[in-house]
Chains A and B, each alone.
Chain A
Amino acid sequence: GAVVSQHPSRVICKSGTSVKIECRSLDFQATTMFWYRQFPKQSLMLMATSNEGSKATYEQGVEKDKFLINHASLTLSTLTVTSAHPEDSSFYICSARKGARAEAFFGQGTRLTVV
């Protein structure tokens, strides 16, 4: 099946710094990628839809200036958590789909800890 690679898998950063997370579709082109946040033992909360070559679409309540998304190519989307604070600590996971009605392939996720 298709593979989506996410990097890094774990990151610890100091409060106030920024962290970039990469999401790559390895064997297909993805015009759209999705970024989720997952709290322990909870569901996946959609943060934003990343659109290749255009601005991301953010879900209600998600600060676009804090969670910067760039989708510069058909195989790479990045999520930058700016000026991170401890409350930003979470599991961030991306997904990509081959078509608008297709199954979602998820990256391995990134566990962010802000200290």
Chain B
Amino acid sequence: GQQVMQIPQYQHVQEGEDFTTYCNSSTTLSNIQWYKQRPGGHPVFLIQLVKSGEVKKQKRLTFQFGEAKKNSSLHITATQTTDVGTYFCAGQEAAGNKLTFGGGTRVLVKP
């Protein structure tokens, strides 16, 4: 079945620095979504990418969808303490309505 892998599993970042988390699917995707889960909370939708090579920005967050629609990345610039949490990518294939979640990247920010 479809598998979605995320790296790194943990990301320790100094406040003010940039980092990137990567997401790879074993199959071609119809779309990919990104979610953020704060400690003790539930996942909250960040963005959806649909087109091959698509790039979207949300303030300090930049999301990219690979040309082959099998991988994606999230780049955060000038990390702040409010960025703490786990970032999940979730891929959906063309057939069916399931979202398959990656393992998540747990982000810890050092002030």
Contact = CB atoms under 8 A, between A and B. Distances in A.
Contacts of B99: 34, 46, 104
B42 A108 contact: yes
Interface residues of A, number: 22
Given A97-B97, A104-B99, A44 B30 contact: no
Given A41-B106, A43-B102, A103-B48, A109 B88 contact: no
Interface string A84-115: 00000000010101001101111111000000
Given A106-B42, A106-B43, A43 B104 contact: yes
A101 B30 contact: yes
Interface of A: 1, 32, 34, 41-44, 46, 49, 60, 93, 95, 97, 100-101, 103-109
